[in-house]
Structure 1
Amino acid sequence: MTSKVIVITGVSRGLGRVMTDGFIRLGHRVLGCGRSEVAIHELNNLHGPDSCFEVLDVTNDEAVRDWAKHCLSLAGSPDLLINNAALVNRNAPLWKVPASEFSMVVDVNIKGVANVIRHFVPAMIAKRSGVIVNLSSGWGRSTDAEVAPYCATKWAIEGLTKALAQELPQGMAATPLNPGIINTDMLRSTFGSQARDYPNAERWAKTAVPWLLGLGPKDNGLSLTVGEPH
């Protein structure tokens, strides 16, 4: 398999971390970002210098712009861009979610995705190639109590991505992707002890990483779920 350049946000932990490890294990080059200085330092020590990781808050558009310029200068246009970074609100009825918490979920889950697209996708369009994967959720296609802010953002990601797909040239793809239900810190924050009933991130990655590598122009605009035929 030809080595690919893969950009991933939110690599500090959870799905971002296991995807990073999985892609690199298969010989691909990963450029990633996350908010944890400790985790980013660890990733650079473990996987550098071919892959590169930076401390970054995706809600900061200027910082994302500078990171994108650095990534593009290092490796060129990405073959696969994965917007993974996301937050979930603490379980609560919508009227009890503080305004500051609601804003942070929206800023990371929607504006952060738009910031990354704004600064990476023009280079991909110039090459007329590459796949953009925006992580959605089962709660981007259904709803549940006490996670209304998160549901709102993931429903937004579905619409944003499908609209983006209509704007891309032939040869490219954008897809909103439901990763499935995985036992991560985020799931434990909403499901509590019931999260143990679901596969962990490492097990998920064994299916997800090769599956993601198989995405292409034929998948443009489709709402997909990891593991399903495409």
Structure 2
Amino acid sequence: MASSMSGSTAARTVLITGVSRGLGRALAVELSKRGHTVIGCSRTQTKLDSLQSELTSPDRHLLLAVDVRSNSSVEELARVVMEKKGVPDIIVNNAGTINKNNKIWDVPLEEFDTVIDTNVKGIANVLRHFIPLMLPNKQGIIVNMSSGWGRSGAALVAPYCASKWAIEGLSRSVAEELPDGMAVIALSPGVINTEMLESCFGASASPYQTPEAWALKAATMILNLTAADNGASLTV
């Protein structure tokens, strides 16, 4: 990864999807502590309200109720963000979900659709409405949250694996479409003790690192990404 530690000191505006819990919430809190402006979205207003009180300098940030699965909802997000904060410097496409452990033929249709609609179409919706805002200045970093299961297979989570493999391919393809000065990166967070991990691992998820510990490292990495990282598949 091309990085410059001095790059992390400048205040940035960072849009993070899925900030109501887990990695997105921890990353939002960490970035606010470092003096950056957070634009966060989630489907649950009550969780956004509780996050607002955790952020350093809460009035500096913008938290909005958005369903990334809805193209029109993301379109409205882009309009409000431009009106209130301008073009984000960094976008972290973090919103995601996983199926309950099941063989593919036992995964309910609605559950399969929710995974694909959130993990793949949700990111595509953000790219559709925010990349055009970044193009005039030919700058901006987009981080698409992937997974180790986007680079390998695992029984009982085929829908989730399929969605994250899709993100790896989507990220590499979009990287070929961006002008010099911009970058899109697929980022695997490693194995973190989140609600999603608990749904797969049960009690054996507990020894893994917390989202807060992960966010300390992830924030530094994300803030130091540059255009030279375009198309990379990285792991925190």
Alignment TM-score, normalising by the size of structure 2: 0.94
Aligned position for 2:103: 93
Matches within 5 A, 1:71-110: 71-110=81-120
What residue in structure 2 maps to residue 7 of structure 1?
15
Q: How many Å separate the matches in 2 of 1:157 and 1:146?
A: 19
Provide, for residues 43-83 of structure 1, a one-character-per-residue CA deviation record: whole Å limited to 9, x for no partner: 23444321010111111111110111111121211111000
Structure 2 counterpart of 1:100, one-letter code: E
Q: Tell me the SS of whatever aligns to 1:198.
A: coil
Amino acid across the alignment from 1:159: G
Counterpart of 2:35, as a letter, is G
1:132 matches 2:142? yes
Alignment-mate amino acid for residue 48 of structure 2: I
Q: Distance in 1 between matches of 2:69 and 2:171?
A: 18
Q: State the identity %.
A: 46
Which one of 29, 47, 57 corresponds to residue 39 of structure 1? 47
Report the counterpart of residue 197 of structure 2 in structure 1: 187
Identify the range of structure 1 (207-216 vs 139-148) with the bigger mean alpha-carbon deviation.
207-216
- Alignment match of 1:115 (pick from 119, 122, 125): 125
**CA contact under 8 A between 2:144 and 2:186: conserved in structure 1?**
yes
Aligned partner of 1:17: which letter?
R
Match of 2:80 in 1: 70
Cα deviation per residue 1:105-131 (whole Å; 9 max; x = unaligned)? 000000010011111111111110010
Q: Is the 8 A contact 2:143 2:187 kept in 1?
A: yes
Across the aligned residues of Structure 1 and Structure 2, the Cα RMSD in angstroms comes to: 0.9
The one-letter code sitting in structure 2 at the alignment partner of 1:39 is K
CA separation in 1, counterparts of 2:151 and 2:174? 18
Indicate the SS of the match to 1:31: strand
Distance 2:155 2:97 in 1: 17
Asked if the contact 2:182–2:227 (Cα under 8 Å) also holds between the matched residues in 1, the reply is yes
SS of equivalent to 2:120: helix
2:152 aligned residue = 142
Partner of 1:29: 37
In structure 2, the gaps of 5 or more residues are: 1-8
Counterpart-to-counterpart distance in 2, 1:89 and 1:57: 18
User: Post-superposition shift, 1:194?
Assistant: 1.1
**Structure 1-normalised TM-score?**
0.96
Question: Distance in 2 between the 1:34 and 1:178 partners?
Answer: 21
Greater shift in the superposed pair: 139-148 or 28-37: 28-37
Aligned residue pairs total 226
The residue type equivalent to 2:155 in the other structure is A
Q: Which amino acid aligns with 1:111?
A: K
Consecutive aligned runs of 4 or more in structure 1 exceeding 6 Å deviation: none
From 176, 192, 196, give the equivalent of 2:206.
196
